[in-house]
Structure 1
Amino acid sequence: MSARRLYVISGCSGGGKSTLIDALAETGHNVVREPGRRIIAQGGPLPWDDMAGFAQAAIAMAEADYDAARALEGPVFFDRGLVDAVLALAHATGQQRDLTRIAQRPYAKPVFFAPPWQDLFANDEDRRHGFAEALAEHDRLARAYRSLGHTLTPLPKSSVAQRVALVVAKAL
């Protein structure tokens, strides 16, 4: 499968990405759920105890997800992807991004990007950071995706159905 059919939904933590992925799955689209939530559900490493270890686990999972998704027919929508995980490791360790890893697994150039949406943002057992940290992450991700040649397609602050319609229309 061509990278042109592999779409990332990224952006602000708590911006409705996972809800959008769930809705896309319900309408029959291929989706890949967020590595971070799956790592936490499996027992770690946990971001609040070992951010570098968590990011390394997210990189490994994102690479495996990408490789598996290439065999699927039609578009595939990722709730975060390899770029997000590589950027998390760079942020946690202060090291450079591993652009080689990213180049080996390219995604479609338009990235669907969740804007900061404070009314939607909520902490839960898996999201323990605050809105200010989510904003900083959003800005880092936007810069990183743009620097890699991606265009950001902002998700509207609207209903899930409207977001699904936008994503499907742009991807098909």
Structure 2
Amino acid sequence: MLSPADFVVITGGPGAGKTTLVERLAAAGCACSPEAGRGVIADQLATGGRGLPWADRALFAELMLQRDLRSHRQARLRRGPVIFDRGLPDIVGYLRLSGLPVPPHVDAAARRFRYRNRVLIAPFWPEIYRQDGERKQTPDEAERTYEHMVAAYTDYGYELVHLPRTTVDQRMRFVLDELAGDERRR
């Protein structure tokens, strides 16, 4: 069974290239866990649900929490490192960004279900930012989201490692080098 040290989070604001990077890592054979938010949005749109960031932010956060807890639990059964497209502290950052209180059970989940201490964070990158059917944030909100993720992960004791603003291939090499460094440190 894997330990939290094997759970690698890639976080940041929307539109900073996280999901593209995680998808490329998955295509290269890395075990990956998809972003909860995009999955929740897709499910809610398909079913006419209200758990959407533009309809009911608190419900959206609860649905992300359930999905992220399930992903964390499933990852413990895998072998080798698992790369997460966002983690539980992202929900805390999202709630704070939304001006909503962080419920005690969300705080408890972020404290209890841990990841590797070194979290990879994609900085806001206005040159590549694009809105789409699931990403409706303005560039300003995307940048503020990044800032809230920095604060949330820092508050939960994680060390942030900034991903370079470079090609997907070079970012992938950066992540793989970071993971290789973990192996050397063990």
1:133–1:31: structure 2 CA closer, same or farther, 3 Å change rule? same
Aligned to 1:13: 14
CA distance in 2, matches of 1:130, 1:119: 13
In structure 2, give the amino acid aligned to 1:79.
D
1:92 aligns with 2:93: no
CA distance in 2, matches of 1:99, 1:129: 25
How high is the TM-score relative to the length of structure 2?
0.88
1:9-48 deviation line (CA, Å, top 9, x unaligned): 0012100000001000010000011101111111241111
CA distance in 1, matches of 2:151, 2:68: 20
1:35 aligns with 2:36: yes
CA distance in 1, matches of 2:155, 2:43: 33
8 Å contact from structure 2 (residues 90, 149) kept in 1: yes
Query: Structure 1 residue 100: deviation in Å?
Result: 1.6
1:163 aligns with 2:171: yes
How high is the TM-score relative to the length of structure 1?
0.95
8 Å contact from structure 1 (residues 59, 86) kept in 2: no
8 Å contact from structure 1 (residues 11, 138) kept in 2: yes
CA distance in 2, matches of 1:162, 1:42: 33
1:81-119 deviation line (CA, Å, top 9, x unaligned): 111123323443531464321122000011110011001
Aligned to 1:106: 114
Aligned to 1:74: 80
CA distance in 2, matches of 1:21, 1:164: 8
User: How many residues are treated as equivalent by the alignment?
Assistant: 172
1:25 aligns with 2:33: no
Identity %: 33
8 Å contact from structure 1 (residues 10, 84) kept in 2: yes
- The 5 A counterparts of 1:149-160 are 149-160=157-168
In structure 2, give the amino acid aligned to 1:47.
P
Aligned to 1:53: 59
1:135–1:93: structure 2 CA closer, same or farther, 3 Å change rule? closer
